[in-house]
Amino acid sequence: MIRSFCLVLILMLVGCSSTPAPEPDPLPVGSTEPAPPPPRRVYIGDVSTKVFHREGCPECESIDLSNQRLFETPGEALDGDYSRCPVCEPLRGW
Ligand SMILES: [Zn+2]
């Protein structure tokens, strides 16, 4: 009984190994992967308070979607008389 069980097991193993998984292509040594494009920065303005934020600022979560206005650059927001958020400081670093 055990012997036949072993035989079945061996047959299963052989059956599995007869279809080997394709080898993943080895990464060429010394090649540099192309840098991903920089993420597009978006600034979120609060229409009701006239304050704009960096995307991801925790303050943005409390802005109603209907009050959100998107800017592609801080200058755009400043031109629209929006002021910087003191929490995320959208102009810091640029
Ligand atoms: Zn903010």
What's the pLDDT tens digit per position in 51-75?
999 999 999 999 999 999 999 999 9
Residue 56 CA to ligand 1 centre (angstroms): 8
Can you tell me the distance from the alpha carbon of 66 to that of 54, in angstroms, rounded to the nearest whole number?
18
Q: Residue 52 Cα, ligand 1 centroid: separation in angstroms? A: 7
* In a domain? residue 53: yes
**In a domain? residue 89:** no
Residue 70 forms part of a structural domain: yes
Closest CA to 88 of 40, 48, 35, 42: 42
Give the structural domain span for 71.
43-84
34-45 pLDDT, tens digit per residue, is 887 766 779 999
Please tell me the distance between residue 4's alpha carbon and the centre of ligand 1 in angstroms.
Answer: 70
| Domain contains 72 | yes
- Note the pTM of the prediction, 2 decimals: 0.57
- 76, pLDDT greater than 80: yes
Confirm whether 10 is domain-assigned.
no
User: Ligand 1: distance of its center to the CA of 75 in Å?
Assistant: 16
Q: What is the pLDDT of residue 92?
A: 81
Q: 35 CA to middle of ligand 1, Å?
A: 28
Residue 5 lies in a domain: no
